[in-house]
């Protein structure tokens, strides 16, 4: 995937000023091919990617946004949907997560039926209802091929206490805008700041919304 070309490491001692801003780590999860890469690329780069390949392990994309005068880095972890590309990375995805975005493809009922398994995987990694979660139905531009209607998806979202957004990474004109979806999550995280300053017992949940683990380790940064 071409996005890997956009990744740059931070050299020790050369931290750009924005590295001190707060980071929201949001993981994007769902079956292979639902459009996780396209959605994250759309938000961070502002356009639909020319071409994508199956994500191997994880890709990171970041965007700096401003909420109420504070600059915040939204770090999207685009995870691999294919099991064979996930195995070695799973433990890393789930550390220090602030929010989860579950994605299905509205033209692929199987991707919708997989959602309980993705939710369960998150739960097993201490990401339950206390962490902001949203549900995104992607590829709404392909209305002629629709397999998952809004009513069914809304029932599922309600039963898991998640807001539902239906969008298209390719052409969001008539749907929820990709940018607005991720901004909604960021606003929610910012408004929950006091709640997130302490670790839950056992330390399994999200850390304070300050320096990320990757930042502490001088890890990856992507400026797309």
Ligand X SMILES: Nc1nc2c(ncn2[C@@H]2O[C@H](COP(=O)(O)OP(=O)(O)OP(=O)(O)O)[C@@H](O)[C@H]2O)c(=O)[nH]1
Does residue 148 interact with ligand X by CB under 6 A?
no
Inter-helix orientation angle 36-45/178-191, to 10°: 80
Residue 82 contacts ligand X per CB under 6 A? yes
Joined tokens for residue 151: 């009513």
Stretch in the footprint of ligand X (CB under 6 A) among 17-25, 33-41, 91-99, 157-165: 33-41
- Site for ligand X, residues 149 to 178, rule: CB under 6 A: 168-170
Rounded to an integer, what distance in angstroms lies between the CA atom of residue 30 and that of residue 117? Answer: 9
Residue 32 touches ligand X, criterion: CB under 6 A: yes
Instruction: Give the residue with the Cβ less far from ligand X, 21 or 220.
Output: 220
Residue from 2, 47, 54, 149 that binds ligand X (CB under 6 A)? 54
C-alpha of 188 from chain center: 14
Among 80, 136, 148, 196, binds ligand X (CB under 6 A): 80
**Residue closest to ligand X when measured from CB atoms:** 81
C-alpha to C-alpha distance for 135 and 100, rounded to whole angstroms? 9
Of the candidates 109, 142, 146, 183, which one interacts with ligand X according to CB under 6 A? 142
For position 36 contacting ligand X by CB under 6 A, the verdict is yes
- The smaller minimum CB distance to ligand X, of residues 110 and 197, is found at 110
Q: List CB contacts of 76: < 8 A, sequence separation 6 or more.
A: 26, 27, 28, 40, 43, 44, 60, 61, 62, 63, 182
Total residues in contact with ligand X, by rule CB under 6 A: 20
Contacts 24+ apart (CB under 8 A), 88-93: 88/57, 89/57, 89/58, 90/121, 90/125, 92/58, 93/27, 93/58
> Quick one: which of 72, 139, 176, 205 contacts ligand X (CB under 6 A)?
139
Q: In terms of CB distance, is 25 or 36 closer to ligand X?
A: 36
Q: Which is nearer to ligand X, 72 or 224 (CB)?
A: 224
The C-alpha atoms of residue 181 and residue 103 are separated, in whole angstroms, by: 12
Interface contacts to ligand X, rule CB under 6 A:
32-38, 52, 54-55, 80-82, 138-139, 141-142, 168-170
């Amino acid at each position: 995937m071409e996005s890997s070309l956009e990744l740059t490491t931070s050299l020790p001692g050369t931290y750009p000023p924005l590295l001190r801003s707060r980071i929201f780590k949001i993981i994007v999860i769902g079956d292979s091919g639902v459009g996780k890469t396209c959605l994250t690329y759309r938000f961070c780069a502002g356009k639909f990617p020319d071409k994508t390949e199956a994500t191997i392990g994880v890709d990171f994309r970041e965007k700096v946004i401003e909420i109420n005068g504070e600059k915040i880095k939204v770090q999207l972890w685009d995870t691999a949907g294919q099991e064979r590309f996930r195995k070695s990375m799973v433990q890393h995805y789930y550390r220090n997560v602030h929010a989860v975005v579950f994605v299905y493809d509205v033209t692929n009922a199987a991707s919708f039926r997989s959602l309980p398994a993705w939710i369960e995987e998150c739960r097993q990694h201490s990401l339950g209802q206390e962490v902001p979660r949203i549900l995104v139905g992607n590829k709404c531009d392909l209305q002629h091929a629709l397999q998952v209607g809004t009513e069914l998806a809304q029932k599922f979202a309600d039963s898991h206490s998640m807001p539902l957004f239906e969008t298209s990474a390719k052409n969001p004109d008539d749907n929820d805008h990709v940018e607005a979806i991720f901004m909604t999550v960021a606003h929610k995280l910012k408004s929950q700041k006091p709640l997130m300053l302490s670790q839950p017992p056992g330390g399994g949940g999200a850390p304070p919304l300050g320096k990320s683990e990757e930042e502490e380790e001088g890890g990856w940064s992507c400026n797309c």
